[in-house]
């Protein structure tokens, strides 16, 4: 036989207080003593009382549920270190404030699927965090233009708060680091077109100009993020040049493994024969030999800030300002850029 759910009336009888006092204690009101609150909460737990989420939603006009829109075209899913670390930080920060996280279904081949906005409304999400998507997708734009609280990661819309990695400073610092090690022939394999790529490429050329570096056209290649096959191919093209670079920068740490394969296949040594650097600072890059020189991004701070800003929008909609929050990374020296400054 199924047990009856414990009600406020049951707790009231067990504690010898009014139902109103029980309600105030469980909702953490300030007009009853701390001792009374703790006593009522302790009794309610011993009786097996759980708040009714539907009733709570009716009362507060919130479901305490946040949608996460994450569409990874590279099909790496949550093995994508950069975004998975951000999402993990976001989840922990949101849960600490009483919110649950649910992924929005992004499978567009599913029959009778809902749009992202329709799914968000159907699920009753209080807000949505958008990361690693095609931000030019009409469904994404529809969601961003709606009245749903939204925060984006690594992409900026005029009317939405965004948490951004500082790609301009990161690329500047990485190129400066290679330059300080004596490298003047520096190639760059950048990622596919995106706001992130645009920032990094612009910073690469601006910094090169400031340093007086001449970057031949053939030193700049494109390969999709996280594509080791493509970066292996582009690395071979660079090494086949009559005047090859002494250092190659890659779109991200994972794609740098394609370059490592190409270099190893030629019997060359990193960094003795050719220097390389990645971007992101993923964990595995610190456990290979030699350790990869890279930009380590502060994914913990990015996730935490995204959750904090989104929940602030949800709970204080009239006073929350649209912000662009830029989070700096730092150069992780590693051991894959050789110092040739004394040569």
pLDDT in tens, 208-231: 999 999 999 999 999 999 899 999
Those residues whose C-beta lies under 8 Å from the C-beta of residue 27, and which sit 6 or more positions away, are none
Domain assignment of residue 310, given as a range = 65-164+299-320
Give tens-digit pLDDT for 106-129: 777 777 788 999 999 988 999 999
Report if residue 335 sits inside a domain.
no
Sign of CA dihedral 200, 206, 209, 211: negative
Q: What is residue 2's predicted lDDT score, i.e. its pLDDT?
A: 41
Q: How confident is the model at residue 332 (pLDDT cuts 50, 70, 90)?
A: very high
Measured CA to CA, the distance from residue 174 to residue 190 in angstroms comes to: 13
| pLDDT, average across residues 148-155 | 93
Give tens-digit pLDDT for 275-327: 999 999 988 888 889 999 999 999 999 999 999 999 999 999 889 899 999 99
Flag whether pLDDT at 1 surpasses 50. no
Flag whether pLDDT at 3 surpasses 70. no
Report if residue 223 sits inside a domain.
yes
Report if residue 139 sits inside a domain.
yes
Q: What is residue 112's predicted lDDT score, i.e. its pLDDT?
A: 77
105 vs 250, residue with greater confidence: 250
| pLDDT, average across residues 15-42 | 86
Q: Are residues 24 and 138 in the same domain?
A: no
Measured CA to CA, the distance from residue 226 to residue 223 in angstroms comes to: 9
Sheet holding 65-70, edge to edge: 100-103, 65-70, 127-131, 150-153, 161-165, 324-327
DSSP assignment of 50-101: ---HHHHHHHHS---EEEEEE--TTS-GGG-HHHHHHHHHHHHHHHHTT-EE
161 vs 59, residue with greater confidence: 161
Closest by CA position to 50, among listed 5, 114, 104, 3: 5
Report if residue 79 sits inside a domain.
yes
Q: What is residue 4's predicted lDDT score, i.e. its pLDDT?
A: 57
Question: How many structural domains comprise the chain?
Answer: 3
Q: What is residue 75's predicted lDDT score, i.e. its pLDDT?
A: 47
Average the pLDDT over each of 63-77, 79-93, 173-187, 208-222 and give the range with the smallest value.
63-77
Tokens of 49: 């009382």
Q: Are residues 155 and 69 in the same domain?
A: yes
Report if residue 202 sits inside a domain.
yes
Measured CA to CA, the distance from residue 336 to residue 69 in angstroms comes to: 35
Do the bridges between strand 294-296 and strand 330-332 make them parallel or antiparallel, or are there none, so unpaired?
Answer: antiparallel
Measured CA to CA, the distance from residue 230 to residue 225 in angstroms comes to: 9
Task: Identify the CATH number of the domain in which residue 155 sits.
Answer: 3.40.50.2300
Report if residue 264 sits inside a domain.
yes
Reduced to 3 states (helix: H, G, I; strand: E, B; else coil), residue 179 is helix
Q: How confident is the model at residue 73 (pLDDT cuts 50, 70, 90)?
A: low
251 vs 56, residue with greater confidence: 251
Report if residue 274 sits inside a domain.
yes
Percentage of residues of the chain with pLDDT beyond 90: 63
Report if residue 330 sits inside a domain.
no
Q: Are residues 303 and 291 in the same domain?
A: no
By CB neighbour count within 10 A (0-12 exposed, 13-18 middle, 19+ buried), where does 196 fall? buried
């Amino acid at each position: 036989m199924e047990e009856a759910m414990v009600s406020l009336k049951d707790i009231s009888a067990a504690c010898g207080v009014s139902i109103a006092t029980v309600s105030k204690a469980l909702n953490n009101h300030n007009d009853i003593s701390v001792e009374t609150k703790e006593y009522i909460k302790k009794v309610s737990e011993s009786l097996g009382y759980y708040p009714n989420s539907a009733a709570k939603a009716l009362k507060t006009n919130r479901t305490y549920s946040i949608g996460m829109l994450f569409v990874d075209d590279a099909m790496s899913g949550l093995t994508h270190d950069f975004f998975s670390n951000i999402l993990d930080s976001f989840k922990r920060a949101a849960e600490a404030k009483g919110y649950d996280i649910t992924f929005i279904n992004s499978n567009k081949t599913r029959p009778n699927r809902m749009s992202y906005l329709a799914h968000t409304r159907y699920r009753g999400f209080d807000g949505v965090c958008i990361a690693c998507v095609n931000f030019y997708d009409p469904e994404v734009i529809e969601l961003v233009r709606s009245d749903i609280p939204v925060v984006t990661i690594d992409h900026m819309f005029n009317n939405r708060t965004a948490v951004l990695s500082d790609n301009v400073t990161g690329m500047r610092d990485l190129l400066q680091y290679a330059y300080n090690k004596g490298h003047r022939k520096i190639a760059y394999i950048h990622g596919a077109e995106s706001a992130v790529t645009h920032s990094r490429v612009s910073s690469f050329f601006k910094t090169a100009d400031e340093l007086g570096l001449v970057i031949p056209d053939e030193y700049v290649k494109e390969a999709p993020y996280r594509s080791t096959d493509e970066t292996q191919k582009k690395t071979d093209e660079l090494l086949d040049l009559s005047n090859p670079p002494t250092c190659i920068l890659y779109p991200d740490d994972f794609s740098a493994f394609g370059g490592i394969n190409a270099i190893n296949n030629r019997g060359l040594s990193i960094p003795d024969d050719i220097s390389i650097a990645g971007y992101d600072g993923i964990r595995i890059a610190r456990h290979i030999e030699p350790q990869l020189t890279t930009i380590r991004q502060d994914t913990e701070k990015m996730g935490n800030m995204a959750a904090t800003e989104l929940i602030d929008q949800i709970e204080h909609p009239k006073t929350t300002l649209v912000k662009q929050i830029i989070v700096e990374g730092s150069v992780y020296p590693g051991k894959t850029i050789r110092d040739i400054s004394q040569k």
